[in-house]
Chain A
Amino acid sequence: MRPDVQDQIVEIIAREALREPAELTHETTLDELGLDSLGLVEVIFAIEEAFGISVPFNANEPGQSSFDISSVGAIARAVEALIAGDTPATVVA
């Protein structure tokens, strides 16, 4: 994992969830942070803008997306894959 990417992801999610980055771990879930669907859409937007990537995510079927949002660590790994150009198998949106 690339520490710089992880740090940025943590910072973005913490900002949207109104938390301190230090409160977040790899295992923290968005639910635990109290992020609702609009908050999630804002997180994804911020990630796309920060890394210049396009995240496949449709709010109608969050579970179907190959972009794993199950935890902070999962999101960081998914972003790293997108940055590396490993296009996810099923692009939803």
Chain B
Amino acid sequence: MRRVVITGAGTVNALALDVAGTFAAMREGRSGIGALDFPDVDRLSVGIGGQVKGFDPALHFTPQKRALYDPFAQYALVAAREAMRMAGLEAVPGAPDRWGCIMGTAGGGNGTVNDAFRAVYAEGRSRVHPFTVPRLMNNAACSHIAMEWGLQGPSFSVATACASSNHAIGLAFQMVRAGMIDGALAGGSEAMLNFGGLKAWEGLRVMSPDACRPFSKNRNGMVQGEGAGVFVIETLEGALARGAVPLAEIRGFSMTSDAGDIVMPSVDGAARAIRGALDDAQLSLDEIGYINAHGTGTAANDRTECLAISQVFGARAPKVPVSSTKAMHGHLIGATGAVELLACLLALNEGVIAPTINHQEDDPDCALDVVPNHAREVQVDAALSNAFAFGGLNAVLALSKL
């Protein structure tokens, strides 16, 4: 089977509008979470989030295109451009029908839905914007990336809630490895920070009123973010042939289903996914130098995830650095795995493990090395990235240096 590498990365998130800025924030342990700013926010009980700041669509898109793009598509397109630039590509190398686009999202054009419903329900208007459907559809980000870069091979969007982008990246990896395609743009995008989007989350009563504190004993819920992460994924052979410098090798991927509860996570499902990724990657426990946790900051996820890691890693569990960067950029739902993969690239390439900020109190239920509050410099040769979704759908990626 073919070896698969990442040669480019791009992002837009609450920490920064590019990869370099995101890396800098992760090194510094800086938070991008703050007071939410959008219409009717005062009617929400949740007042904080990881909102993208300073993003000016006019800098990136013509007025005609802007009318067609929901923010989730805009973030994805800008991230894809950065990824292509980093990969040194002005167009896909080789046959366009051998390249695809696979993008995760949970809410799709949720802001467009919010605007349209506001117009017809709250304002009593009789029509919505004519592009409402092409803006809101979950595959809009994927299709626009494919159109912009002429990707004519297998392309689709994946919706597995909080695991969407890990599933998207993992599927792209498997398709390239198997020879179905030669490369892909893959990742995730999300933009649900609007009144209707967050009102729904509020109802579940899992949101924190003040901060995301993964693994901290006094954690009290998740904080939502938004943005995108996109990667250029191709064969090692192809990358080397054109003189590209791979950022990391994707070694393995595993997906499992809890088949249990619609919101409560299971230790077994998560553990099977972690073990499956290690097996697929043919990596031993000792080789893993970092785990980017799902680490949502909810009572249930963090406890369950730590149990799963402990179950798989056994005696080595307390020795593996595990961090959740959600405390900094928030939970990007369908895009979260993509932005968190950047933390893995930072660890593998620069030997910097992004911290779990907001750590205030050790939790005996989370007795792992959670890299509290400050980044750590240590050589990392291989890493895992966990994503465990509502609905019990789990997806874990394994990466290594070349």
Contacts and interface: CB of A to CB of B under 8 A. Distances in A.
Q: Judge: A and B partners, yes or no.
A: yes
Nearest to B209: A93
Interface string B199-243: 000011111110000000001110000000000000000000000
Q: Is the interface of A mostly helix, strand, loop or mixed?
A: loop
A70 interface: no
Q: How large is the interface on B (under 10, 10 to 19, 20 to 34, 35 or more residues)?
A: 10 to 19
Interface string A54-86: 100111110010000000000000000000000
B89 to A, nearest CB: 44
A22 B149 CA distance: 66
B298 interface: yes
A41 interface: yes
Contacts of A37: 263-264
Contacts of B206: 58-60
B305 to A, nearest CB: 15
Contacts of B204: 41, 59
A60 B203 contact: no
Contacts of B207: 58, 93
A38 B220 contact: no
Interface in A22-58: 37-38, 41, 44-45, 54, 57-58
A12 interface: no
B299 A60 contact: yes
B208 A60 contact: yes
Nearest to B263: A38
Interface residues of A, number: 14
Contacts of A44: 205
A57 B205 contact: yes
A58 B203 CA distance: 10
Nearest to A59: B205
Given A92-B220, A93-B45, A58 B263 contact: no
Contacts of A59: 204-206, 221, 298-299
Contact of B299 (A41, A54, A61, A92): A61
Contacts of B209: 58, 92-93
Contacts of A58: 205-209, 220-221
Given A41-B204, A44-B205, A93-B207, A60 B221 contact: yes
Nearest to B222: A60
A93 B204 CA distance: 11
A92 B208 CA distance: 9
A37 B205 CA distance: 10
B42 to A, nearest CB: 14
Contact of A60 (B45, B219, B262, B264): B219
Interface of B: 45, 203-209, 219-221, 262-264, 298-300
Given A58-B207, A59-B205, 11 more contacts: A37-B264, A41-B204, A58-B205, A59-B204, A59-B298, A60-B300, A61-B220, A64-B220, A92-B220, A93-B45, A93-B207
24 contacts: A37-B263, A41-B203, A41-B205, A57-B205, A58-B206, A58-B207, A58-B208, A58-B209, A58-B220, A59-B204, A59-B205, A59-B206, A60-B206, A60-B208, A60-B219, A60-B221, A60-B299, A61-B220, A64-B220, A92-B209, A93-B45, A93-B205, A93-B207, A93-B209
